[in-house]
């Protein structure tokens, strides 16, 4: 067996025997995907609505019928005017619609509990659309790319962006630093093994692990979460591989600056976890951030990756629409790799 | 002893970190098959000096040869001819005893047939035939120490560097370990060993005592004791190191 093969074999054996870690590493992506895909959703699908009706007309009857039958609403009944504040205050309803006829024309007012702004905005929009379609000229809204407005579609790219940075960067840095701590790294460095071989011997097993995770996540996304499958999956795969390499390089870089496993964990946690969750656009849209934060988000690899994944996985557009992202990710990979290898060799 | 081949020779070896001179112009020669004790308090510069000899660190100035190769220009060649055992008996904890030996032997370029022969002999000598397939994290410290030494010497290096190889093990295990060192030395291996235990210094053919980056004394234990009118190496060390400024 060659030196290189035996180093890789050692790393794989080490991973396989660290049973708990391997389980965590394989289970966390699945759990996160399912959690964000099903349990956590920003959709509002149970608006409890009550109505105050001054005078019933065909129109109001029609609208109330909509409230009763539409699955997005739970109709809490018709209430007298002075009950409005009470029902909202007790939290028995999220919104109250008041119908009033003026000169034969139906006017309406929506009173909404805005203690949760997101929910208030969404439910107002729902109510508006139901009322307007019943009364005036309906606005035809055509939702492209995600017709059911499933939040899973939004979260899958985000989760992938987070998982690969976490697993690749954290695990490689911790595993290299742990070799420094136990002193086995010194044994390798005094041996005739070239530094390059040591580095690749460390990175390749984690690269393989990432490929397994990627397969697992893609299968889940395209089956359980129902993201439409198309040939763009090939682009998804190779851009993810580029992103994985970038994350591995980051892990290598962290391992050269951290001297203990704890600090490696902290550095990768603070450097990656927080910015990735807050600034990458995974949850909060980058476009809504203050300008300074928008600039800052440009140096976060996950931002580019997630944005590319949205285009490729959800919009299913061809590769030419994510050229910027690919170029930025490639350049970042180069820079980090060069820096990491320079630092790794510069210990003398 | 003195007419034997020189395996390590160092002249004016110096290592500076910024303004701090960790190793200050040290010179020494070690002969083939010799057990050379490299003594010094913590922070005296032993580890830094040893790292330069192993090719892990480049000297700021000075020169040296290990096993016939220049420590500055031929560091990679040196690495093929030395063995190194760290003070933590570093081995891969999640690999078995055999996998560890096999890994290090492969790294030093041995083919699988030689590895098989050598490890068979080693396991027999160590009495470790039954634990070949046990994970290293499950064997006692004394065995780890022997195993680390075996891993460092399986490829029959010219010189083996032992960085505090007996820290934290009990006296009887230490004695057994020194038997291994003697065996290696009798087979022509040069042993360069740092230690805290001054009774161990007596086992060495020659010792050097480092104080604040300088070598303050270098001779056989018997002559040093004579020179400093001391009964034990411990006394010698205390006399030599009494002016030390760097220690913790």
Supply the DSSP string of B93-153, one letter for each residue: TTSBHHHHHHHHHHHTT--HHHHHHHHHHHHHHHT-GGGTTSBGGGS-HHHHHHHHHHHHH
Q: What is the pLDDT of residue B1?
A: 45
Q: Are B84 and A14 inside 8 Å of each other by CB? A: no
| Structure confidence by residue, pLDDT tens digits, A154-185 | 788 888 998 898 888 888 999 999 999 998 99
**A78 and A52 Cβ atoms separated by less than 8 Å:** yes
Q: B86 to chain A: which residues are within 8 Å by CB?
A: 183, 186-187
Domain boundaries, chain B: 91-156
Instruction: Write the CB contacts of B98 (distance below 8 Å, at least 6 apart in sequence).
Output: B119, B132, B133
For residue A284, what pLDDT is reported?
Answer: 79
How confident is the prediction for chain B on average, in pLDDT?
90
> Of B217, B233, B145, which is closest to residue B181 (Cα–Cα)?
B145
Token pair for B205: 């053919």
With beta carbons under 8 A apart, name residues in chain B contacting A18: 94
Q: Which residues of B touch A192 (CB under 8 A)?
A: 76, 79-80, 107-109
Which chain A residue lies closest to B149 (C-alpha atoms)? A187
Distance (Å, rounded) from C-alpha B174 to C-alpha B193?
A: 13
- Residue spans per domain, chain A: 3-40+150-345, 47-135
Interface check for A10 against chain B (CB to CB < 8 A): the answer is: yes
CA distance A289 to A294: 6
CA atoms within 13 A on the CB side of B107: 33
- Per the document, the length of chain A is 348
Is residue A102 predicted with pLDDT exceeding 70?
Answer: yes
Strand pairing report for A47-53 and A95-102: parallel
Name the band, by pLDDT with cuts 50, 70 and 90, for residue A129. Answer: confident
Ramachandran angles phi, psi of B216, nearest 5°: -90, -25
For residue A58, report the phi and psi dihedrals to the nearest 5 degrees: -60, -40
Q: What distances in angstroms separate CA A140 from CA A59, A106, A132, A156, one per listed residue?
A: 20, 21, 11, 28
Residue A347 has pLDDT above 80, yes or no: no
| B92 inside 8 A of chain A by CB | yes
CA atoms of B14 and B21, how far apart (whole Å)? 7
Beta strands B69-70; B61-66: pairing state: antiparallel
pTM: 0.82
- Looking at chain B, the whole-number percentage of residues with pLDDT higher than 70 is 98
Q: What percent of chain A has pLDDT over 70?
A: 96
* Nearest alpha carbon to residue A73 among A98, A93, A56: A93
Q: Which of A218, A160, A145 is nearest to A36 (CA)?
A: A160
Q: Which fold has domain A47-135?
A: D-Maltodextrin-Binding Protein; domain 2 (3.40.190)
Q: What is the pLDDT of residue B3?
A: 56
Q: Does A12 touch chain B (CB under 8 A)?
A: no
pLDDT tens for B127-177 read 888 999 999 999 999 899 999 999 999 999 999 999 989 888 888 889 999
Query: Is the CB of A6 inside 8 Å of chain B's CB atoms?
Result: yes
Segment B202-218, tens digit of pLDDT = 999 999 999 999 999 99
How far does the CA of residue B197 sit from the closest CA of chain A (Å)?
21
Does residue A42 register a pLDDT over 70? no
Residues B70-105: tens digit of each pLDDT: 999 998 899 999 999 988 888 999 999 999 999 999
| Ranges assigned E (strand) in chain B | 6-17, 20-31, 35-40, 61-66, 69-70, 82-85, 159-163, 190-194, 206-211, 214-219
């Amino acid at each position: 067996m060659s030196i290189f093969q035996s180093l890789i074999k050692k790393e794989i054996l080490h991973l396989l025997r660290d049973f708990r870690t391997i389980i965590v590493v394989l289970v966390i992506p699945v759990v996160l995907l399912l959690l964000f895909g099903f349990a956590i959703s920003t959709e509002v699908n149970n608006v409890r609505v009550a109505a105050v009706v001054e005078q019933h007309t065909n129109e109001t009857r029609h609208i109330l019928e909509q409230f009763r039958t539409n699955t997005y609403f739970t109709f809490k009944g018709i209430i007298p005017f002075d009950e409005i504040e009470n029902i909202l205050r007790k939290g028995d309803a999220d919104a109250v619609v008041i119908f009033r006829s003026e000169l034969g024309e139906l006017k309406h007012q929506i009173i909404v509990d805005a203690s949760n702004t997101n929910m208030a905005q969404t439910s107002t929009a729902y109510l508006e659309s139901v009322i307007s379609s019943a009364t005036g000229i309906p606005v035809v809204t055509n939702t492209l790319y995600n017709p059911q407005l499933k939040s899973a579609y939004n979260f899958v790219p985000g989760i992938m962006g987070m998982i690969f940075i976490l697993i690749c960067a954290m695990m490689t840095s911790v595993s290299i630093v742990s070799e420094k701590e136990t002193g086995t790294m010194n044994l390798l460095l005094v041996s005739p093994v070239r530094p390059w071989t040591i580095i690749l011997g460390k990175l390749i097993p984690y690269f393989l692990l990432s490929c397994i995770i990627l397969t697992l996540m893609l299968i889940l996304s395209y089956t359980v979460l129902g993201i439409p499958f198309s040939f763009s999956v090939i682009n998804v795969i190779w851009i993810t591989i580029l992103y994985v390499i970038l994350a591995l390089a980051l892990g290598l870089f962290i391992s050269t600056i951290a001297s203990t496993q704890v600090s490696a964990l902290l550095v990768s946690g603070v450097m990656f976890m927080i910015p990735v969750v807050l600034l990458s656009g995974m949850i909060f849209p980058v476009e809504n951030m203050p300008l300074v934060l928008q600039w800052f988000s440009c140096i976060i690899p996950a931002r580019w990756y997630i944005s590319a994944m949205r285009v490729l996985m959800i919009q299913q557009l061809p590769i030419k629409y994510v050229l910027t992202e690919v170029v930025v990710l490639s350049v970042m990979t180069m820079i980090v790799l060069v820096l990491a290898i320079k630092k790794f060799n510069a210990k003398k | 002893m003195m007419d034997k081949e020189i395996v390590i020779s160092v002249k004016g070896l110096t290592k500076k970190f910024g303004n701090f001179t960790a190793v200050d112009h040290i010179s020494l020669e070690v002969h083939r098959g010799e057990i050379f004790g490299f003594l010094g308090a913590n922070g005296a510069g032993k580890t830094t000096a040893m790292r330069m000899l192993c090719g892990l660190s480049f000297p700021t100035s000075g020169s040296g040869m290990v096993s016939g190769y220049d420590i500055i220009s031929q560091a990679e060649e040196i690495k093929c001819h030395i063995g190194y055992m760290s003070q933590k008996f570093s081995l891969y904890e999640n690999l078995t005893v055999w996998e560890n030996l096999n890994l290090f032997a492969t790294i030093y370029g041995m083919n699988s047939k030689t590895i098989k022969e050598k490890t068979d002999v080693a396991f027999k000598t160590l009495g470790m035939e039954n634990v070949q397939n046990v994970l290293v994290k499950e064997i006692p410290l004394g065995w780890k120490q022997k195993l680390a030494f075996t891993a460092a010497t399986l490829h029959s290096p010219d010189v083996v560097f032992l960085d505090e190889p007996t820290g934290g093990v009990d006296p009887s295990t230490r004695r057994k370990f020194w038997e291994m060192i003697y065996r290696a030395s009798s087979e022509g291996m040069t042993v360069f060993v740092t230690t805290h235990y001054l009774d161990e210094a007596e086992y060495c053919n020659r010792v050097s005592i480092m104080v604040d980056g300088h070598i303050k004394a270098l001779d056989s234990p018997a002559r040093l004791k004579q020179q400093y009118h001391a009964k034990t190496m411990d006394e010698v060390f205390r006399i030599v190191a009494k002016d030390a400024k760097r220690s913790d």
